[in-house]
Amino acid sequence: MVSQLTKLEEESIDYFVSFVQIFGFPKSVGQIYGLMFVSGEPMVMGQLVERLEISKGSVSQGLATLKALGAIVPVEVENDRREHFQADLDVSRIVNHFFSERLEPRLQNGSRRLEGMLELAREGGDTKENEPLNRLKALKKWQTRGQRAIPFIKRFLKN
């Protein structure tokens, strides 16, 4: 028996699906968080599968992603050994966690890779004809700007 979603639940789900897809996360991550965000009760995997009408695999993967982001927290429910979860409602902490744990490491890795690509392009000579070198230098400027912006964004989110 499938439970119908309320209009509020549908709207919350749609809101968070569009939000998480901006960051490249699967739709299920937004669906799960959106439902949990407006739910007053901790939820178990089976409830999420039933209410959202998505596969157990999608729910499992979504829960793992949300746990890694710090977006949901495990909650103990008396006389129930199943794993229950509740949304962490501090969205700024979640976004801050995303920047610290996902974006910053990727930018740092990107910087290292970009340096290696620049070195390879320099081996081709630093002339006007070395278009890859010119493009990589422009990319490095954007990479540097992105890395410099993150601390400001994180400070802004804390306020």
| Residue 3, pLDDT score | 67
- Containing 82, the helix (H) or strand (E) segment is strand 80-87
Residues 73 and 37 in one domain: yes
| Residue 121, pLDDT score | 86
Residue 2 lies in a domain: no
Residues 30 and 98 in one domain: no
| Residue 1, pLDDT score | 44
Residues 23 and 73 in one domain: yes
**CATH number of the domain to which 14 belongs:** 1.10.10.10
Q: Which amino acid, 112?
A: R
**What range does the domain containing 107 cover?**
91-158
Q: Which of 56, 87, 118 is the last residue of a domain?
A: 87
Q: Which of 48, 70, 87 is the last residue of a domain?
A: 87
pLDDT tens-place values along the chain, 159 residues long? 456 899 999 999 999 999 888 888 899 999 999 999 999 899 999 999 999 999 999 999 999 999 988 899 999 988 888 999 999 888 777 777 777 777 788 888 888 899 999 888 888 765 666 788 888 888 889 888 888 888 887 777 776
Residues 62 and 103 in one domain: no
Q: Which residues of 2-36 are buried (b: 16+ CB within 10 A; e: fewer)?
A: eeebeeebeebbeebbebbeeeebebbbbbbbbbb
Number of domains present in the structure of the chain: 2
